[in-house]
Each structure stands twice: as structure tokens, then as C-alpha cells.
Amino acid sequence: MAVIEHDEWIRRAELIGKKAEPMVAEAEKAGCFPLELRDYVHELEMHKALRPLQYGGSGIGAFTFSEIVRTIANYNASAAWLVYFVVLHEQWVAFLDEKGRQEVYDSNKFTGDIFMPLGQIEYVDGGVKMSGQWSFGSGVLWNDWMGLGAIVQIPGEDPQPCLVNVEKAQLEVIEDWNPFGLRGTGSHSVKVNDVFVPWHRILPVLNAKNKGEPVGGHYSDEPIFKVPFMAFFCLGFPAISTGIAQRVARDLKVRVEGRQRILYNMKEWESPIAQRNLAEVMVRVDAIEAMNTRYINQLEEWIEVGTPVVAEEEKNKMSAWRSHIGKEASDLAFHAMNLLGASATGSGDPLETAARDAFMVYIHLGQIYEDNMMAYGRTQFGLSGHPLL
């Protein structure tokens, strides 16, 4: 695969967004976007965007990755979420043992994960046997590999949270996804029973997070190896929130322009109050965009000088920024619904969908506002930050 430049990746993101938008109503009902969209995303080779060059990828940086996700979120957050993870999960695959990453990349299939270390492990010759059940398997219906969380003691390492990479055929999908928002992501539960996984398909997460080193040592100078692991891993959350906020502001303006206030015999846009309200929304979007830009710029600065490990305060500041963006976008979306009243509350209304989706991004495990603000605050007094992020 030839290296693809930024503008082409964004063009492909636009194509995905436009293809996904007419599918939203059915995806909301079915609980996942159809395999037709999955196949289209695969045809556009989005899963190779982040993959290291030597494995046929493009090795994109933080800015391009964020813009791919934000662009699709302008159309629908669930579609952006799925593509974010399609691209993203090639990151941790790149940190696997050489045999493990080669196996996944050669398969040319999508990879998912669930970080929560819930698996029960039995040590056997050549690897482990794992059993357990996990919730929130985003995109599992699209994926052929799933990294499932468990505490594992890899030979020569301390016990630590690991991603144990299981083939789709080895797991059971429990189709229980029926949430408030992000309904189109198909984030069903998964279950495995006594599944054998060889050592080369197990990633020690703390080594990647705290040392920035792939299993077996560095083999490439790609951006993903030159930046704090979790800060880069989570960049899609603020990108989705930003894309939702932009969509909300755009839709609000169109609807205010076309809304007739019958009781006052005037167009709503003629009201100084409506003008003021729209201006406030637009300025709040400007602030969300600015913080997201600052987040990406920080990642790019670290990539430029090669900084895979940073102080606790710096790591946790990034998490606090992400949570702030998520909260602001969620609040903004519900505020826009409030400004439009009952006309925006119908099930499937674009603003109603955007508000539900923004809220779900805001409360994701890696985004929980209280957790991330507390962790950042702890680092101000020399204490440890978030145990995972």
C-alpha cells in the first residue's frame, strides 16, 4: 500500500460520513451500522491509516487521525466511533510481539478491544487459557479480532493488565446493546470459555503505557511510538465531541432561520434573543474546537521531539482536557434542543440523536469527568493520577 497523504484520508472520511448518514435510522433501530458500511470502510483501507509503514500502513500522526474522526462525526457520532476504533486498534497491535502483529496484519481484518481486565487466566504451555465475559465491545460485529482485558503475568514481567487477542471464531457475541446513545456502534458483550491464546498475541498494557515500548523492543520511528500511549489512544473522544458540537451549531442555525414563531408573528431569527442564543452556541463551539486543537498540538509536539513518556501531571492534564471537551459538547447539544423546544425532541431527530450520542461520549470509561478531574488534581499535589489512563 502506497503512503496516503492527509487530504486523501479526509476525502475518504467525507465519503464514509455521506454513506453512513442515510443509514442512521436503521442503525439506531438495529443497534449497529450494517456490514455494508463495514465493507466500505475496509475497501477504503481505513484500518491501515495508523499501521506502521513496514506492515503496509501509512503511519499517520495525531492531526490526521483526529480530523478523520471529527469529519465523520459531523455526519453521525456512531459512525465516527466505529471508524475511530477501526483505525485506533492498529495502534496496540503494533506493540505486540513481532509474530503477533504480523499475524493480525496479514489477516487484513478489523481489530477491537475491551480493556477492562475481567478475564480469568489459566497458564498453560505456550500461553494462557482464558474465560470470562465483557461488556461494551464496540464494533464487535465488524471485527475479526478482539483484545480482551485480563491480569496476566507474562514470562519475565510482573502481573499487569493485558490485552489478550482472541479470534472472532473463538468468542460468543451476546447481542445486548440497547443504550441511550451511540446506538449504531453495536457495542455488544462478548464471552469466551477456556480459549487458548499464545504468548505472542498478549500485550502487556502497562509496558506500552509507561515505557512506550513494543514487545521485543523498538522497530520503527512511527508517530505512535513517539507519543504517550494513552493520550494518543484516546484522541478520538474529543474529536467526536468536537464534530458533534459543530453539527449541532450548524443544524441549530438552519432551524432558527426557518422557524416561524406564530404567537409573535415573526421569524425566529429576527428576534434579538434568538440572535444572542445562536452567538453563544457558536462561541462555545469555538472554545471546544480550540481545546481540541490544543490537545492535538500537544500530541504533535511530543511526536516531533519523540516523547513517549511524560510526567503524571502531563498525562492527566490531557485526560482532564478530554473530559472537559466531552462535557461541554454534551451540555451544548442538550442546550440546543432546549432552544428549539419540542420540535427537536422527536426520536431520530438529528439534534436529539446528537445529544444522546454526545452524552454517551461524555460518560465513557476513559472520559468520566469526575475521575479525570480528580486524577489531574491529585497530580497537582505530587500524588498518582489515573491508574489506567
pLDDT in tens, 214-266: 999 999 999 999 999 999 999 999 999 999 999 999 999 999 998 888 777 88
Residue 297 has pLDDT above 90, yes or no: yes
Residue 2 has pLDDT above 80, yes or no: no
φ/ψ (deg, to 5) at 228: -55, 130
pLDDT tens sequence across 106-123: 999 999 999 999 999 999
Give me the pLDDT at residue 209, please: 87
Mean pLDDT of the chain: 95
Cβ proximity of 245 and 288 under 8 Å: yes
- Structural domain boundaries in the chain: 6-105, 111-211, 226-380
The class level of CATH for 226-380 reads mainly alpha
Give me the pLDDT at residue 1, please: 64
Q: What is the spatial distance between Cα 75 and Cα 349, in angstroms, rounded to a whole number?
A: 13
CATH architecture of the domain with range 111-211: Beta Barrel (2.40)
Stretch 180-191: mean pLDDT, rounded?
97
Sheet with 145-152, strands from edge to edge, namely 172-174, 188-198, 127-137, 111-124, 145-152, 160-167, 202-204
Stretch 300-304: mean pLDDT, rounded?
98
Q: What is the spatial distance between Cα 160 and Cα 249, in angstroms, rounded to a whole number?
A: 44
Give me the pLDDT at residue 207, please: 86
CATH superfamily of 6-105: Acyl-CoA dehydrogenase/oxidase, N-terminal domain (1.10.540.10)
Residue % of the chain over a pLDDT of 90:
89
Stretch 32-42: mean pLDDT, rounded?
97
Residue 170 has pLDDT above 80, yes or no: yes
Give me the pLDDT at residue 157, please: 85
Please check whether the two domains, 6-105 and 226-380, share a CATH topology: no
